Structure 1
Amino acid sequence: MILLFKPFKVGDVINAQGHIGSVKEIQIFNTILKTPDNKTIILPNGGLSTGSMVNFSTEDKRRVDWTIGVGYGDDLDKARAVIQKLCDADERILTETPVVIAVAELADSSVNFTVRAWVKAPDYWGVFFDMNENVYKTFPNEGLNIPFPQMDVHVHKEG
């Protein structure tokens, strides 16, 4: 079935049967994957033909999603503007679809923005990692806090 319907080809990156890797070889009974850390995974084609699979290589564009938290009390409009500025500065982020920056959650320790941007598929991980680092380096300089889980303890003295 794999050889007939060709849901993937050599070079595609797939997630199947709990493994993610680049397809190195498609044989009659097995498909050989190489994982990002250079392991060889041998997947039986029977399971591949009857199970679900994600092929990350079929589309030329992918959406990168981030959750970026700011501290309660921080200026949300400023945070949104800083995130937009960082996205605008990365030429790998495609401009035909606007970047989405929305307050998604009032969490325990942070106000969380969901940020979504479209990139060419090969740029996905570079953009993802670079944005995380840029947010970490830029927020403190802009007076924005990157919160972490914390707990306030109140001690009351009786009498």
Structure 2
Amino acid sequence: MLREVSAGKRFMGRLPQGADLLEALTQACVAQGITAGEVRAIGALTKAVLGYYNQQNREYEYVTLGSHLEIVSLIGDVSLKDGRPFVHAHVSLGDERGQLWGGHLAPGSEIFACEVMIVQYQSAEPFERAFDEGTGLLLWPME
């Protein structure tokens, strides 16, 4: 079910070249005290690691792309996992031929340049991820 949230502060900035994209997004949220929110970004990567959740096997499979890639779109959310800010993001990447790659943003994606926008949300109850038996994923609980 849906829960009412209200938009709080908005943050914009650039992430450091050479940093791991997922880790840099998470550290930005930790530094600003963001425990619930929305993340968007554009830019470029020198390397990307994308995940695909195999629903039958209930585990992630990964592909590593080693060429230079444009971040066509990155969208994600911020919530709590084990009491700490956790960024869950999906990304669409374009290569030099205009071919599009996409999937779950995984550790190991290296930033060439990245501009990020984060909207912090306020909620009466925290959004804490919990194991969902039906999917095998850590998801927001249904209330």
TM-score range for the pair, normalised by the shorter chain length = under 0.3
Choose between structure 1 and 2 for higher RCO, CA contacts under 8 A separated by at least 6 residues.
2
Structure having the higher strand fraction is 2
TM-score of the aligned structures, taking structure 2 as reference length: 0.25
TM-score of the aligned structures, taking structure 1 as reference length: 0.24
Larger Rg: 1
